[in-house]
Chain A
Amino acid sequence: MSAHPYPTTAERVLALGLPAAALASAASASNAVLTRRVGLEALLGGPRLHALEASLLLALGLGAAVLVAAWNDWRSRGPARAARPALGAAVVGAIAGWQTFLLAVQPFQRVWFDAALVLLCGIWAGGVLWLRRPRQPSRLRRALGLTAVGAALTVAAAELGLRAAGSLAPSALLARSGEAPRKLIERFRCRPGLGRFGFPCNSSGYYDEEFYRTRPGERAVCSIGDSFNLGSVPHARHFTTVCEGELGLAVHNLGVAGIGPREYLALLLDEALPLAPDAVVVGLFVGNDLDVADVGRDLPDAGLRAWLQRERVLTWVLPRRLARVARECKRLGNRRREVAIVQGERAVAERFPWLDEPALEEGTLSPESFDCLETQRALAVCARSPVSLTTVFESLAAMHEACGEIPFGVMLIPDEFQVSDALWARVVAAAGVPLERDRPQRLLRAWLEEADIPYLDLLEKLRAVSPAADGQRHLYHLRDTHFNARGNDVAGRALARFFAALLDA
Chain B
Amino acid sequence: MRLFFPLLVLTAACARSDERWIEALDDPDPFERALAAFALCEQAPERAPLTLGVLLETVDRSELELGAHAARHLELLARSIPDSLRARLAANPLMTEARRRAIEDALRGAGRGRR
Contacts and interface: CB of A to CB of B under 8 A. Distances in A.
Interface of A: 23, 27, 30-31, 34-43, 56-57, 60-61, 64-65, 67-68, 107, 109-111, 298-300, 383-385, 434, 436, 442-443, 446
B90 interface: no
B30 to A, nearest CB: 9
The 5 closest A-B pairs by CB, nearest first: A39-B39, A39-B35, A42-B38, A64-B3, A38-B39
Size range of the chain B interface in the assembly: 35 or more
A20 B36 CA distance: 32
Given A41-B42, A43-B64, A110-B32, A35 B2 contact: no
Contacts of B64: 43
A38 B7 contact: no
A65 B3 CA distance: 8
Contacts of B10: 27, 31
B34 to A, nearest CB: 8
Most chain A CB inside 10 Å of its own CB: which residue of B11, B28, B66, B69: B11
B84 to A, nearest CB: 20
Interface of B: 1-4, 7-8, 10-12, 14-16, 20-21, 27-29, 31-32, 35-36, 38-39, 41-43, 57, 60, 63-64, 66, 69, 73, 93-94, 96-98
A27 B39 contact: no
Contact of A61 (B1, B41, B42): B1
Given A23-B3, A42-B38, A61-B1, 10 more contacts: A27-B11, A35-B20, A36-B16, A37-B15, A42-B73, A60-B4, A110-B29, A384-B98, A442-B93, A446-B93
Contacts, number: 99
Contact of B7 (A27, A43, A442): A27
Contacts of A40: 35
B93 A42 contact: no
A31 B14 contact: yes
A443 B43 contact: no
B4 A64 contact: yes
B96 A384 contact: yes
B42 A300 contact: no
A59 to B, nearest CB: 11
A262 B64 CA distance: 30
B1 A64 contact: yes
Nearest to B3: A64
A109 B32 CA distance: 8
Contact of A43 (B4, B11, B35): B35
Q: Is the interface of B mostly helix, strand, loop or mixed?
A: helix
A34 B3 CA distance: 18
A43 B58 CA distance: 12
Contact of B97 (A41, A436, A446): A436
Contacts of B60: 384-385
Contacts of A60: 4, 7-8, 11
Contacts of A35: 14-16, 20
B32 A38 contact: no
Contact of A39 (B38, B63, B97): B38
15 contacts: A34-B11, A41-B42, A42-B39, A42-B69, A43-B64, A43-B69, A60-B4, A61-B1, A64-B3, A109-B29, A110-B32, A298-B28, A383-B96, A384-B60, A446-B94
A186 to B, nearest CB: 28
A38 B3 contact: no
B78 to A, nearest CB: 17
A371 B86 CA distance: 38
Contacts of A57: 4, 7-8, 11
B97 A109 contact: no
A300 B36 CA distance: 16
Nearest to B30: A299
A109 B27 CA distance: 13
Given A36-B35, A42-B38, A299 B28 contact: yes
Contacts of B32: 110-111
Contacts of B8: 57, 60
A226 to B, nearest CB: 24
Nearest to B32: A110
B42 A65 contact: no
A111 B35 contact: yes
B1 A65 contact: yes
Given A27-B7, A42-B69, A434 B97 contact: yes
A109 B94 CA distance: 28
B38 to A, nearest CB: 4
A153 B74 CA distance: 48
B1 A109 contact: no
A446 B92 CA distance: 11
A474 to B, nearest CB: 31
Given A39-B38, A43-B38, A65-B1, A300 B11 contact: no
Most chain B CB inside 10 Å of its own CB: which residue of A31, A57, A385: A385
B39 A68 contact: no
Contact of B11 (A30, A68, A111, A434): A30
A31 B11 CA distance: 5
A216 to B, nearest CB: 44
Contacts of A385: 57, 60, 94, 96
